[in-house]
Structure 1
Amino acid sequence: MSTETENPTKPYLMTVNGQGRSADTYFKVLNPSTQAIVGLAPQSNQKDVDAAVAAAKNAFPTWSSTPHEERVALCQQIVTLIKNNSEALATLITQEQGKPLNGLGSRWEIGGACAWAEYTTSLNLGVKVLQDNEEGRLELHRKPLGVVASITPWNFPVLIAIWHIMPALVTGNTVVIKPSPYTPLSTLKLVELMNQVLPPGVVNAVAGEDTNENSVGQLLSSHPDVRKVVFTGSTATGKSIMRSAADSMKRLTLELGGNDAGIVLPDADPNTIAEGLFWGAFINNGQTCAALKRLYVHDSIHDEVCDALVEFAKQVPYGDGMDEGSILGPLCTPFQFEKVSRLVSEAAIKGTVHLGGTAANGQFFPPTIISGLKNGDSLVDEEQFGPALPIIRYTDIEDAIQAANDSSSGLGGSVWSSDTQAAASVAKRLECGSVWINRHGMIQPNAPFGGVKSSGLGVEFGEEGLAEYTDIQVVFN
């Protein structure tokens, strides 16, 4: 699927029990850059979800008892398939999500997916001996849960699918994944590739637009045969999943919204940190949970930081993601475009717009930098999830720390300084799951990642993230 005009009305299939499954109805998936139809996605219903969960449940006994080394070998074959189909997958991501092929775009996403998958297959929790003496031997075993439901967002459709699926497979679980209705096609294609090597039923895929009458996510999160839900998305949806999962006591991993704060100390060099600040805030056009979303800058260098950021941002081209020269693309959804437009319009009345501030054509919104705001202003308090960065002036570091922590979110944060020890002392006081010094949002597969407060429940990545796909059983000998 290398070009948008190849077959824009192609109906994509669900994958259930290793086979393609058609739907009773389909919905259009549109290119955010052009509004052209990319493909038709299946609108799954109750019978489709039940069939997918049943397939995963039936596959679980054999898959969970398959030796770890054999599961890992099959997962490594998946990585090879992704690499062999990397350009087709990247093109499909760009067409349905909008992000450019280049820069930190869809090709980078596919590369990240492969790196994460490869690292995850290297992990093995094994058996932990708690005691072995004359009083007896105690062993801690980690056992797979069963059927895992994965519900993924539209900002990184393949990368986050890998984050959810690969640790589930390595630990012996089976999966039913439901991608965002804005970006279902690349995930459906990914699962189709996986099923070239996996036994039937180990990974299944359904899709659908979520409406009051038909919410596929709700059907999965409340399904009695689903043992765990892993979800990446908004805090509001995460709370809804918690409610629907409660009756069956499902395990949950929820990576939810963030409103990450950065603090620039007075000894920082504005020109040195400008590039890192920009990409911390504007990676994926700001459509990233752990992006830098509000920046507190000391009064003594406030203006210089604003100027340096503007100068760097002016050099970054944005446009149609299929244009090899584009580095930033459009906002993925009409809803997100409207939200960013509203927040920027409100901020422009109170603050100073240094760059951008006015919507372009379609769903394109230029990189926007606004100063003169404070806590209590909507662009500071709400997660914009788009290319708009509010810069807040401060004079006392205690006030900056208090303002940074004055949020119900707590996903990530950062401190910027020429003195890394001074930065570290401030960083440890930020109320967030991850904190960076002189960079922002650079997550790694070997470092647990998750939020505090309303930004989530549980962690992903590393051994700690792998363990979340298991139950503990202690064997007393």
Structure 2
Amino acid sequence: MKQISSINPFSGETLDTYEAFDLTALDSTLAAADQAQKMWQTTELSTRASVLRSLAKQLKAQRDTLARTATLEMGKTLASARAEVDKCAWACEYYADNGPAMLQSETVPSDDDAERIICYQPLGLVLAIMPWNFPYWQVFRFLAPALMAGNGAILKHASNVPGCAMAIEAICRDANVPENLFRSLLVSSKDADRLIEHPLIKAVTFTGSTNAGRKIASTAGKCLKKTVLELGGSDPYLVLDDADIELAVEKCVTSRLLNNGQSCIAAKRFIVHDSLYGEFASAMAAAMNKKRVGDPLLEDTDIGPQAKQDLCDELTRQVNETIRLGAVLVSGGQSEGATYWPTVLGEVRPGMPAFDEELFGPVAALIRARDENEAISLANQSAFGLGSAVFTRDAARGRRVALALEAGACAVNDFVKSEPAMPFGGIKASGYGRELGPFGIREFTNIKAMLLR
């Protein structure tokens, strides 16, 4: 039987080994899950809400153990890992409290004697192909609404976080989620197509790279299966000429360094008005240099390693190539093992990796803009469209610029973050569909129109 190893990216130590899922058992496993889902969809909404509250309770009770597993497997700091588990519990509670109302049938007004109703029915088994960077949150922000809607869920998690994948399955058992309604299958990425194509899988949700998203969408499209894709981002943060510099630096640095810089919605490109550029660059470099880099298991560590050595190597390549093309290294730029120090690149322009590509690590790309219009143009000059932000003291101006930015989310005088009540997703090469909020729970339902006479 093939083994899957869990490796600590900070120490290089092998943490554990797991048996890969035996694909010869796929038909029987999915048949059992399908049967469990068919029973689940007949349950009352109040019953489903009760199970979600039980999930939240278990997440809170096992918070420290879950957090340590995530820190060991992918290198996020303990504080970040604890916050992630808390957020998962929040999502479960949010859908337990609000999901039933979101799924209530709606009556459409009419001027004849017919009754027109819109109802939301589950699709069946939904396959979730999830990444390593938020190994719990990425799963639960899908799982909570999917279960509330009456669906079943099959998880194919990233291969470097098998411990987190199995911990989620264990949490579901502890919370009395019906047996087989949620299964975590340890299979390789090359075997994902077999899961997508299986007739008992009715839809697919994926979070990850744009290139992988294209492949998954292609496979699912051939089978005419619904997909939701949350892909890469190169989020622009605009610092206009009337911005509060201290606030802008605080929010921008916080966003850029989220999760060791490994977040799709982290700030990536900082488009700064000429008049503030020098002050902003100095202040950002100073703030980045204050961050403590080291062992993510230590409570005072701010920045841990990248999740894998090859990710650190790719980040190094992108930074070096950006500098070769004319950018300036303002601060940082060094690495050790899989750890990359917080880095600020100045004078970044279109055509450089730091502008055109997603830099999935603690590297800030500073870009000059002569005025508001050029800042907006530079922001939108990207294949991506996930998050964005604008900093200005003028509320009306902030709203106007936010509306002009091509992204699925925009913050004014703050950084973008996901939360249960707000829709989350992108446009362009950042994907399509929405998670969270009422939109997220309805993505994997049959929105059925009924005409009754």
Q: TM-score, normalised by structure 1?
A: 0.91
Who is 1:56 aligned against?
A: 33
Matches within 5 A, 1:153-172: 153-172=131-150
Who is 1:31 aligned against?
A: 8
* SS of match in other structure, 1:52: helix
Farther off after superposition, 434-443 or 386-395: 434-443
Amino acid at match of 2:173: N
Change in Cα spacing, 1:347 to 1:95, as seen in structure 2 (3 Å) is same
Gaps of 5+ in 1: 1-23
* SS of match in other structure, 1:273: helix
Contact 1:448 1:465 in 2 (8 A): yes
Amino acid at match of 2:158: S
* SS of match in other structure, 2:232: coil
In the alignment of these two chains, the number of paired residues is 447
Structure 1 residue 79 and structure 2 residue 56: aligned? yes
* SS of match in other structure, 1:391: strand
Amino acid at match of 2:242: D
Distance between the aligned counterparts of 1:353 and 1:46, measured in 2?
49
Who is 1:40 aligned against?
A: 17
Matches within 5 A, 1:405-424: 405-424=380-399
Distance between the aligned counterparts of 1:222 and 1:420, measured in 2?
49
Question: Which of 447, 472, 475 is residue 422 of structure 2 equivalent to?
Answer: 447
* SS of match in other structure, 1:237: helix
Who is 1:277 aligned against?
A: 252
* SS of match in other structure, 1:393: strand
* SS of match in other structure, 1:383: coil
Question: Which of 338, 346, 357 is residue 313 of structure 2 equivalent to?
Answer: 338
Who is 1:348 aligned against?
A: 323
Structure 1 residue 138 and structure 2 residue 149: aligned? no
* SS of match in other structure, 1:126: coil
Structure 1 residue 216 and structure 2 residue 191: aligned? yes
Gaps of 5+ in 2: none
Distance between the aligned counterparts of 1:396 and 1:325, measured in 2?
40
Who is 2:128 aligned against?
A: 150
Structure 1 residue 466 and structure 2 residue 441: aligned? yes
Structure 1 position 233, deviation (Å): 0.6
Q: CA RMSD in A?
A: 1.3
Structure 1 residue 203 and structure 2 residue 178: aligned? no
* SS of match in other structure, 2:198: coil
Structure 1 position 130, deviation (Å): 1.0
Who is 1:92 aligned against?
A: 69
Contact 2:5 2:160 in 1 (8 A): no
* SS of match in other structure, 1:236: helix
Distance between the aligned counterparts of 1:369 and 1:259, measured in 2?
15
* SS of match in other structure, 1:370: strand
* SS of match in other structure, 1:195: helix
Structure 1 position 165, deviation (Å): 1.1
Encode CA deviations 1:29-87: one digit per residue, 9 max, x unaligned: 10011011121133224224333322211112110001111111112111111111111
Who is 1:69 aligned against?
A: 46
Amino acid at match of 1:84: A
Question: Which of 383, 388, 392 is residue 363 of structure 2 equivalent to?
Answer: 388
Structure 1 residue 183 and structure 2 residue 161: aligned? yes
Contact 2:129 2:207 in 1 (8 A): yes
Structure 1 position 460, deviation (Å): 0.5
Amino acid at match of 2:160: Y
Distance between the aligned counterparts of 2:377 and 2:30, measured in 1?
46
Structure 1 position 132, deviation (Å): 5.8
Distance between the aligned counterparts of 1:204 and 1:398, measured in 2?
49
Contact 2:30 2:200 in 1 (8 A): yes
Distance between the aligned counterparts of 2:242 and 2:26, measured in 1?
56
Structure 1 position 133, deviation (Å): 5.9
Distance between the aligned counterparts of 1:49 and 1:398, measured in 2?
54
Who is 2:265 aligned against?
A: 290
Distance between the aligned counterparts of 1:286 and 1:436, measured in 2?
19
Matches within 5 A, 1:223-242: 223-242=198-217
Contact 1:52 1:176 in 2 (8 A): no
Structure 1 position 134, deviation (Å): 4.7
Encode CA deviations 1:153-184: one digit per residue, 9 max, x unaligned: 01000111101111110000011111100112
Contact 1:258 1:455 in 2 (8 A): yes
Amino acid at match of 1:121: A
Structure 1 position 387, deviation (Å): 0.7
Structure 1 residue 429 and structure 2 residue 408: aligned? no
Structure 1 position 219, deviation (Å): 1.7
Encode CA deviations 1:118-151: one digit per residue, 9 max, x unaligned: 1122222200001366521111111000011011
Amino acid at match of 1:200: E
Who is 1:12 aligned against?
A: none
Amino acid at match of 1:358: Q
Contact 1:195 1:203 in 2 (8 A): no
Amino acid at match of 1:277: C
Amino acid at match of 1:50: D
Structure 1 residue 254 and structure 2 residue 232: aligned? no
Distance between the aligned counterparts of 1:90 and 1:118, measured in 2?
19
After the TM superposition, list the runs of 4 or more consecutive aligned residues in structure 1 that deviate by more than 6 angstroms. none
Distance between the aligned counterparts of 1:90 and 1:40, measured in 2?
19
Who is 2:275 aligned against?
A: 300
* SS of match in other structure, 1:157: coil
Distance between the aligned counterparts of 1:80 and 1:338, measured in 2?
40
> Larger helix proportion, structure 1 or 2?
2
Structure 1 position 257, deviation (Å): 0.8
